[in-house]
Amino acid sequence: MSEHIHPELQKRIEFISGGYILLEEGRIPHRGKEVLYYLGVGALDSSCCGRGGCAFMKVQGFVISWKKGAGPSGEAVSEIESVESEEDRQEIRKILAEKFPDFQQIEFL
């Protein structure tokens, strides 16, 4: 179990060859628990190799305690348990891929 600081949505995060934006935070039910995920888009717009982009999902894990406190800058903090079971991961991937067909890149953290 770990503490998760909820990131600011709709804010571009820069990296060396571009950036990404987390568009949406959501939760879905799975086997009596809730799964926290984020939808985002990334862009390579300052790369020497050309331009490109992608739509992605990040699965934080199972919510143990939702927004139970505040982080150092006032951000909401939740307790999260990572999704370790490959069976759970496959089922969650299927649910998310059906719900968000344009976001096929799914990463479990």
Mean pLDDT value across the chain: 92
Domain count across the chain: 1
pLDDT tens per residue across span 55-81: 999 999 999 999 999 988 899 999 999
Q: How far is CA 54 from CA 10, 36, 102, in A?
A: 16, 20, 10
Residue of 98, 109, 96 whose CA lies nearest to 24? 96
Q: What is the pLDDT of residue 48?
A: 64
Residue 30 phi/psi, 5° resolution?
-155, 115
- The pLDDT of residue 79: 97
Confidence of residue 46 (pLDDT cuts 50, 70, 90): low
Total residue length of the chain: 109
Q: Which domain holds residue 12?
A: 2-108
